[in-house]
Amino acid sequence: MNEGEKMLKVSIIGASGYTGGELIRLLLTHNQVEIVDITSRQYDGEAVYKVHQNIRDSNLFFTGKTPSEIDADLVFTATPHGASMKIVPELIERGIKVIDLSGDYRFNDTSIYEKWYGMKNDSDLKATYGLPEIYRKEIKKSNLIANPGCFPTGAILSSYPLIKEELVDRIIIDAKTGVSGAGIKPSDSTHYPNIADNVNPYKISTHRHMAEIQQELNGFDDVKVSFTPHLVPVIRGIQTTSHSILKEENIDSSELKKIYEKTYENEPFVKLLNKDETPHLSSIRGSNYIHIGGYDIDETGRIIMLSAIDNLVKGASGQAIQNMNIINNFNEDDGLKAIGLNP
């Protein structure tokens, strides 16, 4: 940053949750932002390490400030769906840019939101879907970003070239997620004896993220998408396997790989693996990268694509910071340079 240049003032609403903690962890390494307020209703006045024990050497304290008391250039709303829609309009009205991590602003058609989320969002605010690999130009000009869901990020990025090139019109997505996807509050479905040494399919045809994946992949053609999630006993990460059937058998695996290379040639966070490798959760943990692999076409004409992301980084807070960087003309990888952990 040049001398005399102002730091971007950012605040996080819902900072005591998992995505809030990741925003703090990553933003503390960003040299062009200053974290102003981090809110929590439960931990007003407490030091940040009381909840996020990894963050020790910062002077950050949670505040119980309401959205109207927040002073910032940009706010991340790391709040549940339903809560975000009560917070965001006021911030936008006050001229503050917002990156919302919930599902409240992700849908072009509010009746789809109502059907899948079981509540109305009557706001007439127009948000940009914050998937930089597809909407970078629109994100640059936007004052409200609907940060994509975690499953949709892995599923859309690993399927998008197939749709763009009109190779398939039916995609079946099978995804496995770590338990941090459910947020910081414990529940029966995240209770250790229920998840450890186990694989739990859930909402097998009714998960909300199906509608979001369908919205984004259907933009090019009449594509049908099915999606089934599974909870697996890991803390972070989403592994996605997609199956789709070639419309015409006019392409081989090497050509398919070239299509992916062309689509993502300038993308800083998309890493295309070689054909003899498969993406692993253990390689992307803690990073904003998506690893994509597969490009396999079996004897029946089925294409198998694979991806791995960290649900809390590329699937949430890292992608939110990537969007902030784009809006503010920062380097897109500022605050996001960490490579995944190994092992």
* 88 versus 256: smaller Cβ distance to ligand NAP: 88
Question: Residue 206 is encoded by which pair of tokens?
Answer: 């009714």
Write down the least CB distance from residue 137 to ligand NAP, Å. 23
Nearest residue to ligand NAP, by Cβ distance, number only: 17
Among 28, 55, 58, 80, binds ligand NAP (CB under 6 A): 80
Among 130, 154, 181, 229, binds ligand NAP (CB under 6 A): 181
Write down the least CB distance from residue 202 to ligand NAP, Å. 15
Torsion angle, alpha carbons of 283, 284, 290, 295, to 10? 20
* 180 versus 263: smaller Cβ distance to ligand NAP: 180
Of 311, 11, 29, give the one whose Cα is nearest residue 155.
Answer: 311
Strands 224-231 and 270-272, bridge-based pairing: unpaired
d(CA 314, CA 89) in angstroms, rounded, equals 25
239-298 binders of ligand NAP (CB under 6 A): none
How big is the CA angle at 31 (ends 15 and 67), to the nearest 5 degrees? 30
314-333 binders of ligand NAP (CB under 6 A): 315-316
Question: Residue 294 is encoded by which pair of tokens?
Answer: 């597969």
Write down the least CB distance from residue 185 to ligand NAP, Å. 5
Strands 144-146 and 128-129, bridge-based pairing: parallel
Part in contact with ligand NAP (CB under 6 A); list of ranges 68-76, 157-165, 180-188, 268-276: 180-188
Catalytic residue among 13, 96, 134, 150: 150
Among 55, 125, 184, 251, binds ligand NAP (CB under 6 A): 184
Question: Residue 238 is encoded by which pair of tokens?
Answer: 């989403």
Write down the least CB distance from residue 13 to ligand NAP, Å. 6
153-177 burial, b for 16+ CB within 10 Å, e for fewer?
A: bbbbbbbbbbbbbebbbebebbbbb
* 83 versus 338: smaller Cβ distance to ligand NAP: 83
Part in contact with ligand NAP (CB under 6 A); list of ranges 14-22, 117-125, 204-212, 222-230: 14-22
d(CA 95, CA 71) in angstroms, rounded, equals 11
d(CA 192, CA 196) in angstroms, rounded, equals 6
3-state secondary structure at position 306:
strand
d(CA 262, CA 133) in angstroms, rounded, equals 12
Among 32, 40, 214, 242, binds ligand NAP (CB under 6 A): 40
Among 102, 128, 214, 307, binds ligand NAP (CB under 6 A): 102
Write down the least CB distance from residue 192 to ligand NAP, Å. 17
Told to check if 18 binds ligand NAP by CB under 6 A, we report: yes
Among 30, 52, 81, 257, binds ligand NAP (CB under 6 A): 81
Told to check if 171 binds ligand NAP by CB under 6 A, we report: no
Told to check if 183 binds ligand NAP by CB under 6 A, we report: yes
Torsion angle, alpha carbons of 192, 194, 198, 201, to 10? -120
Q: According to DSSP H, which parts of the chain are helical?
A: 18-27, 84-93, 110-117, 132-140, 150-164, 192-195, 209-217, 253-263, 281-284, 318-327
Told to check if 180 binds ligand NAP by CB under 6 A, we report: yes
Write down the least CB distance from residue 83 to ligand NAP, Å. 3
Told to check if 311 binds ligand NAP by CB under 6 A, we report: yes
Whether residue 100 contacts residue 145, with contact meaning beta carbons closer than 8 Å, is answered with yes
Q: Residue 150 catalytic?
A: yes
Binding residues for ligand NAP, rule: CB under 6 A, are 13-14, 16-20, 40-43, 78-81, 83, 101-102, 149-150, 180-181, 183-185, 311-312, 315-316
Active site residues: 150
